Structure 1
């Protein structure tokens, strides 16, 4: 199915029952005992992470249709093959934007190939990239929009931390008060990207990236004041 201008894929922990009316489709992707990856009926979101990601996106893009690929349920340990299958499923549902508020420490071929196929289809991949520590995947892959938290940013703006590579955004939850991290920042960028495609329906992923570069509220890394000993 070709990418839809109004469909956002979420690869995460699923969604709460109260959010199901906002979903165009959902599935669970799981690792079988024999090591293969399969799909089954989605379960309720047991940890709340995916539900909050959905709320943040809908807060910025309330008209968006969401498709949810449940890639983990009772923990945040994520398998690369499961994430890759989740991306593939989102593409099958016509997702124009795929939010990946997760990160794996190891580069896996299956995940890289899934991201390359998504990019080739014209989808925009938005992935969390923690501000500190080693690189994580898929955010570290070329062409994936990597997003970190930036305390300078309000809910509706963003920063260009590293041109062409890293964007910063607010880390607040949908309620505007609770703070998260790069996961919430990625969701905010997905919602902002959905707004862009709604305003410019014939634009492509590169146009969206150019818009983010040109309209950023801040540039460069956030500089925090250094504490000095008395």
Structure 2
């Protein structure tokens, strides 16, 4: 029997009854009301999007947001190091820091050297963010052409892949959700034909452009 993939989700605190939650480690101090916080909401949507494409996936929650969606580079680096030492095959980061950091780059390198797939969200516009901009990271932005089970090969200067950004008006959407859907697709591929095979078959190739008939390939 193929073992269900384990994904290290570096995000807000996940509730104990989160479907697929294997374990949770709080890297930061958690606010007493964190269960109703933006961080908890964000993390729950990321976990759900991952499992939408990989229902059997297990999640290792690594909490870096105490309640609000803000943290320090030291906490992020520690979470990445713990992910590198874990049994997770995929490490997921739906957040970004505006400036490159040697501390963050070193922690990312540890994850990649450990043989993990590291997925991180990247904005559709503007300068690179990190860890998405670090070497070896699978960077993902929202692509309106994609449904939840699709992905695109963009190969843009600041991002490599695209995936479903969610529905308009949803509580959480955009690059964060797109990266989570993509991590789920990777997890499903790990138990199917393999990641390399998956990455040869994008639903769309080239950047998205919006014309009179809606989003199209450029």
Task: With the length of structure 1 as denominator, give the TM-score of the two structures.
Answer: 0.81
Are the equivalent residues in 2 in contact too, given 1:11–1:99 (CA < 8 A)?
Answer: yes
What value does the CA root-mean-square deviation take over the aligned residues?
Answer: 2.7
Counterpart for residue 124 of structure 1: 117
Counterpart for residue 25 of structure 1: 23
Partners of 1:136 and 1:45 in 2: how far apart?
Answer: 28
Deviation at 1:186, TM superposition (A): 0.3
Are the equivalent residues in 1 in contact too, given 2:20–2:56 (CA < 8 A)?
Answer: no
Deviation at 1:29, TM superposition (A): 1.1
Are the equivalent residues in 1 in contact too, given 2:4–2:58 (CA < 8 A)?
Answer: no
Are the equivalent residues in 2 in contact too, given 1:85–1:114 (CA < 8 A)?
Answer: yes
User: Map of 1:1-230 to 2, 5 A cutoff?
Assistant: 6-19=5-18, 22-30=20-28, 44=35, 46-47=37-38, 48-162=41-155, 166-172=160-166, 178=170, 180-200=173-193, 208=195, 210-225=196-211
Counterpart for residue 35 of structure 1: none
Deviation at 1:62, TM superposition (A): 1.3
Partners of 1:75 and 1:177 in 2: how far apart?
Answer: 21
Deviation at 1:191, TM superposition (A): 0.2
Distance change (3 Å), C-alpha of 1:212 and 1:167: farther
Report the 3-state secondary structure (helix = DSSP H, G, I; strand = E; otherwise coil) of the residue aligned with 1:199: coil
Task: With the length of structure 2 as denominator, give the TM-score of the two structures.
Answer: 0.85
Partners of 2:188 and 2:169 in 1: how far apart?
Answer: 22
Report the 3-state secondary structure (helix = DSSP H, G, I; strand = E; otherwise coil) of the residue aligned with 1:11: strand
Partners of 1:73 and 1:225 in 2: how far apart?
Answer: 42
Question: Which blocks of at least 5 consecutive residues in structure 1 are unaligned?
Answer: 32-38
Deviations 1:4-50 (A, max 9, x none): 8611000001213431x62211111128xxxxxxx9xxx63621001
Distance change (3 Å), C-alpha of 1:56 and 1:126: same
Partners of 1:6 and 1:91 in 2: how far apart?
Answer: 15
The count of residues paired between Structure 1 and Structure 2 equals: 206
Post-superposition, which runs of at least 4 consecutive aligned residues in structure 1 deviate over 6 A? none
Report the 3-state secondary structure (helix = DSSP H, G, I; strand = E; otherwise coil) of the residue aligned with 1:142: coil
Counterpart for residue 216 of structure 2: none
Counterpart for residue 34 of structure 1: none
